[in-house]
Amino acid sequence: MARSASIERNTKETQIKLSINLDGTGVCELDTPIPFLNHMLEQISRHGLIDMRIDAKGDIDIDDHHTVEDIGICLGEVLRDAIGDKKGIVRYGHAYVPLDESLSRVVLDLSGRPDLEYHVNFPKEMIGSFDVDLFKEFFQAVVNHSRMSLHIDNLRGINNHHIAETVFKAFGRALRMAVEADPRQSGIPSTKGTL
């Protein structure tokens, strides 16, 4: 059974088509107007081994906020759809990822209860023309629409690019772990019987 999903979201601010395959090989096709976000989404795909295709247009003449947030909304929706009833999955995932001086930790639970704990302090406000505050908006949107509990901690780092890359790589790896099939688990991984 393929664990894949697609969404099309059209608003006055953005037009987005997004599809994923959780059992992919990390193939990533991106066409968004925000190059640095593309670079980060590619980290999720490659390190999560999630095939991902995104076509997005947005009102970036105003700023990048709506496009970044709406891509997060769409990613959260397709994650929830592709994961399905959660029978037989690991449910929890975690990863530590270093890049030179930077080190980040991501821990997540596909609990059905949306919560974001985001502890990332960037030394500068921008990476090129990208406002680093938008990373939190992206992950909040993913969390709200996938209904996962997500803890993101940058433990150390000086370079903004390195910090961001460790966060996105760690998220991809933690997600990969959480959605993997658990050969010893046939039902819902919860004592409640539901997630």
Q: Is the pLDDT of residue 14 over 80?
A: yes
Domains of the chain: 4-179 (3.30.230.40)
What pLDDT score does 2 carry?
78
- Cα–Cα separations (whole angstroms), residue 21 to 18, 24, 36, 126, 139: 11, 5, 23, 32, 19
- Cα–Cα separations (whole angstroms), residue 20 to 41, 93, 126: 12, 19, 29
Show the CA angle centred on residue 75, arms to residues 31 and 169, nearest 5°: 80
The token duo for 167 is 């966060």
User: Residue 167 contacts by C-beta under 8 Å, 6 or more apart in sequence?
Assistant: 104, 106, 120, 135, 152, 154
Interval 29-78: pLDDT, tens: 999 999 999 999 999 999 999 999 999 999 999 999 999 999 999 999 99
What pLDDT score does 1 carry?
60
Going by pLDDT thresholds of 50, 70 and 90, the confidence category of residue 144 is very high
User: In a 3-state reduction of DSSP, which class is residue 37?
Assistant: helix
Interval 73-118: pLDDT, tens: 999 999 999 999 999 999 999 999 999 999 999 999 999 999 999 9
Q: Strands, E, within 11-164: which ranges?
A: 14-21, 28-31, 51-58, 92-99, 102-109, 115-119, 126-127, 130-131, 149-156
